[in-house]
Chain A
Amino acid sequence: MARFHDLTVTDVHKTIRDAVVVTLTPDDPEAFDFIQGQYLTFRRDFDGEELRRSYSICAGKPEGVLQVGIKRVEGGAFSTWANEELKVGDRVQALPPMGGFHTPLDPASARNYLGFAGGSGITPVLSIIKTTLAAEPQSSFTLVYANKGVNTIMFREELEDLKNLYMGRFNVIHILEADAQEIDLFTGLVTEEKCAELFKGWIDIESVDMTYICGPEPMMLGIAKALRDHGLSDAQIKFELFASAQPGRLKRKAVSQDAASAANQATISVSLDGSTRTVTVGKDVSVLDAALDNSIDAPYACKAGVCSTCRCRVLEGEVEMVTNHALEDYEVAKGYVLSCQSFPVTDRVVVDYDQ
């Protein structure tokens, strides 16, 4: 299992009003030898509750630094903290780089790449652009970059610099939702229709070998549809769903009122796929078996406490989890259990597979 490492913040600077670029020096540099397009998962305690958030690396491989971009999300505890309080010298904890938003590079090949980024979706795409153009001297990259307006464009200057550095090999098309531009086509949202228009004159879609998309969900759907309609296969379309999809703050587990009693029967209320059923079983029956025995189609696989397929959340009451090789302490602290290994302790237990 991956474990958290300590890193020191060596630089923090704003790229736009509400986004920072954070440079980090890991205590163990080998553990952070990333691949372009990967992300780091940070953890931090907020009011006694651990939050984990993932942010993409924006640095290219040749730069030799570890850098992430963090855009402030309305109501987001971690991103607000990073934007307002994080400073040089602070220590943070992160898991080693993860994620599969990359394809193998080959210095000998001459490929045409096409990237789409929406807002802070630029961070992994920027890492890919910098790394690819440096590693493949004959390849070219076109970026379609969607933003609200000129002043919300993250890394605008860096992208201009890249255009000059890789003259003729790197091209950016800015699409702005609110600000009018000289060319009408470059105003509005990046939709399926907008892509089809771009493919008519601005982008030679038939010559494209590989595409990368990172942005909000509706934008990714529209672009992917347009790419498929223009003959690209699923293997040529790489997605990265960005941070907005991360689950929000978890509620605290309700404190159980009833104490354990002498009776060896328990009623377990099981929520699955939005419906709830209550079953009565002996306390020697696992929560999973209680559900399965009553024709509730709860997910499971190994039944040995190693795979975590049967994970559910205890909302009320108490269970004893006899084996756990899969859940981490912070998940257990939030009330998650492996239902195949959990036996009722209190007379009433409420579990939810939908959380």
Chain B
Amino acid sequence: MDMSIEDYLSKGGVLTSPANVPPRYRGELMKLMAIFVDSELAGAAGFADVINAGPGIKERIAAARIVLEKTDHAEKVLRIMGEFGADTARYANHHPWTARLDRNADIGVNRSAHDMRLAVFNYPLQGWGDAVAMNLLMGRAVGVQLAEFQLVSYQPLAEAFRAIAPVESRHAELAEEGLERLISEGQGEALQASVAYWWPRVEGSFGQAESAKFESLRAMGLRRSTNAELRQRWQAEAQGALTRVGLERP
């Protein structure tokens, strides 16, 4: 009846508490959670600045709600990191999450050395329309990522992602509604320029097509689809959303 944890995981087994997690799995799981937490905190911090740029009260409410819920999602996952020993209070403040690089900084898809946010969250938003365009493209990317990560082999995290996914998907819907309104007000051209700016940056957040790590992550049950598969899914979904509001894929 004896089965190693590695064998159990590679056959689709699920782990349930820090006590039964092997060391290498722990490292990769923590990294995955840190990427999510940092991206949510940085995303929320960047969006907070945009609330006041909302053209009306409804828009400001939508933006404030997105900031609130992304921060809440960061907390949900950070709490799980805390069960592994992370100092959650210090973690929440160990980095200035509002910090952004220059709009034209060329960092490719590399993360900064200081935190684990996806590279796309290092770029500054430029006004309301730009923020909505970014939110649509990134919202769709988060949707694709969460569909994948709801299946991770660490049950408490999979459950957190199952609770988070529908709320994040609503953020992308809010962005789509926002874009429709802006386009009806004649802002299509500026929005198309924003889409051209954000498309490659969001696309880059899916990582390299060939990842040497992928097989070991898959064996641990921390990944299922490859980066290339996830990127393709996003391309199709994001293109569909752009077409619906009357914009084009760059």
- Chain A residues within CB distance 8 Å of chain B: 1, 39, 41, 52, 54, 98-101, 216-221, 224-225, 234-235, 238-241, 245-247, 272-273, 297-304, 306-311, 325-328, 331, 353-355
Contact = CB atoms under 8 A, between A and B. Distances in A.
Contact of B85 (A302, A308, A353): A308
A224 B90 CA distance: 38
Interchain residue pairs A-B with the least CB separation, the first 4: A299-B27, A301-B34, A309-B30, A325-B87
A310 B22 CA distance: 14
B81 A221 contact: no
27 contacts: A41-B19, A52-B19, A99-B16, A101-B16, A216-B1, A218-B3, A221-B11, A221-B12, A234-B151, A235-B159, A235-B162, A239-B155, A240-B16, A246-B20, A273-B24, A273-B216, A299-B24, A299-B27, A299-B30, A301-B30, A302-B116, A304-B95, A308-B84, A309-B86, A311-B23, A328-B85, A353-B23
Nearest to B20: A245
Interface of B: 1, 3, 5, 7-8, 11-17, 19-20, 22-24, 26-28, 30-31, 34-35, 38, 81-87, 90-91, 94-95, 113-116, 150-151, 155-156, 158-159, 162, 213, 216
B1 A302 contact: no
Contacts of A218: 1, 3, 8
B31 A100 contact: no
A130 B83 CA distance: 27
Nearest to B80: A100
Contacts of A241: 13-17, 20
Contacts of A328: 85
Contacts of A239: 14, 16, 155
Nearest to A352: B23
A328 B87 CA distance: 11
Residue from B7, B27, B155, B213 having most chain A Cβ neighbours under 10 A? B27
Nearest to B14: A239
Contact of A217 (B8, B31, B82, B84): B8
Contact of B87 (A1, A240, A246, A331): A1
B85 A245 contact: no
Contacts of B27: 298-299, 309-311, 353
Contacts of A300: 31
Given A301-B31, A355-B23, A100 B155 contact: yes
B10 to A, nearest CB: 10
Contacts of A221: 8, 11-13
A99 B17 contact: yes
A261 B27 CA distance: 32
A100 B156 contact: yes
Contact of B31 (A1, A39, A273, A309): A309
Contacts of B28: 299
A354 B159 contact: no
B31 A234 contact: no
B240 to A, nearest CB: 25
A79 to B, nearest CB: 14
Residue from A217, A219, A247, A298 having most chain B Cβ neighbours under 10 A? A217
Contacts of A310: 27
B16 A308 contact: no
A299 B23 CA distance: 10
Contacts of B150: 234
Contacts of B1: 216, 218-219
A308 B86 contact: yes
A1 to B, nearest CB: 7
A211 to B, nearest CB: 13
Contacts of B26: 311
B34 A309 contact: yes
B19 A216 contact: no
A307 B158 contact: no
Contacts of A302: 34, 86, 91, 94-95, 115-116
Nearest to B92: A306
Contacts of B84: 308
Residue from A98, A238, A298, A299 having most chain B Cβ neighbours under 10 A? A299
Contacts of B30: 299, 301, 307-309
A50 to B, nearest CB: 14
A265 B95 CA distance: 31
A354 B23 contact: yes
A331 B84 CA distance: 12
